[in-house]
Amino acid sequence: MQLTKTTFFLLLWAFIACKNEPKNTAGTSTALPTAAANVKPEVILYAVNVDNLQLRDQPNTQSSQVLAKFREGSFVTGVGEKSTNQEEIKLRGIPFKDYFYKVTSTTPEQQTGWAFGGALTAVYAGSRAGSPDLGTLVQYNTYLMGLSTKDINSGRKVWDYINTNFGNASGALADAVYVLTVQYLTRMEYEGEFYTIIEKHNWTPEDYEAIFNNNFDMNKYPITKRLAENGFRVETGEGMVFPMADWAQLHAFFSPKATPAMKAFLDQQLIEQKDLESEDGGLVVSVATLAERAVYWEKFNQEHPWFLLSERTKINEEWQRNVVISGLNNTPNRDYETGKIDEEFKKVWLEIPQKYPGTVLAAKVKELTDLCAANNWTYNETIEEWMMKFQEGK
């Protein structure tokens, strides 16, 4: 399994973050922030995620020399320059495939070289003058490193620190603390024993239904009460129950403090985390709702190309657009026996160019509907060839 840095640290945490608010038929936030963060940042601040991260004179591990080594929890800066090549490197026993990034140490000697991107997490991108206080971030990272990711009580300690030290944080500092916090809570999820504890619990059908519908009482069992006290909740998907960082708690604390772009991200994420988009290989929300979400993220990515979590938001956009067009195994875009295009998909496809003109989704759907109309809305080899090219990104 090959992972990229953001995919691993954020998508694992958001394994079931494919939800929307039932009472919000649009399935999206009301509007994107008006200020577009589309100017290339003067500096990008990265957190180092592993110990002894090597700084190399060339962007590879084969023919380069090691210039220095960075400690976990330290920070380096860059401008987004990355290598053309990717390599696969194991970090904490997990293989990551990523680029190398040109970075400079924040130590007095300011050494510059290439570091493996899978071991870096961007926590700020903007002007040098607007950068969050480095000492504050180093202090927080140092505190996190002193906690055990295997101890559930570390969750409460993280939140105690946040409430004590960042209650008045705002803007870039709040964004950076959010990213570092999610990253640490994610590490707790995959390094701790919480999944094992959850697996051993005897969950009732009523529990599954309540968890799925977001009305499960976390005080019902000692284990769930303990999870809640430490900033976690239980979720269900594909017949399993598993613990996750409490995204509602994270939203409540950070959304009012974040930059406009991060607030827009957090607000939309909360909407999409209310109800599953898919379950057991089938859509739970309507195709129309999914189309609106895909357009939301498409516009978000256009307006915020340097957003800290852009890899995550691009995955959202691409996945949702793909499902709107291609469907899922248990929600196909056609009748497998007759080949006729499904009526719900057909209706939404025909509406998209009028509702979302100028979007990539609208352009792709227009190509598809023209092709379908010419073939009596029946799936055939011509349409299948188009679908394959679409899925390949062509």
Angle at 51 between CA 47 and CA 52, to 5 degrees: 105
Q: Which neighbouring-strand residues pair with 306?
A: none
Burial of 161 (0-12, 13-18, 19+ CB in 10 A): middle
What Rg, from alpha-carbon coordinates, does the chain have? 22
DSSP 41: P
Look up the pTM and report it.
0.87
- Alpha-carbon distance 170 to 167, whole Å? 9
- Alpha-carbon distance 22 to 102, whole Å? 44
pLDDT in tens, the chain (394 residues): 333 434 433 444 333 333 333 333 346 654 444 344 567 899 999 999 999 999 999 999 988 999 999 999 999 999 999 999 999 888 877 888 899 999 999 988 889 999 999 999 999 999 999 999 999 999 999 999 999 999 999 999 999 999 999 999 999 999 999 999 999 999 998 888 787 888 889 999 999 999 988 899 999 999 999 999 999 999 887 778 889 999 999 999 999 999 999 999 999 999 998 767 887 788 989 999 999 999 999 999 999 999 999 989 999 999 999 999 999 999 999 999 999 999 999 999 999 999 999 999 999 999 999 999 999 999 999 999 999 999 888 7
- Residue type, position 79, single letter: V
Query: From the centroid of its chain, how far is CA 194?
Result: 21
Burial of 137 (0-12, 13-18, 19+ CB in 10 A): buried
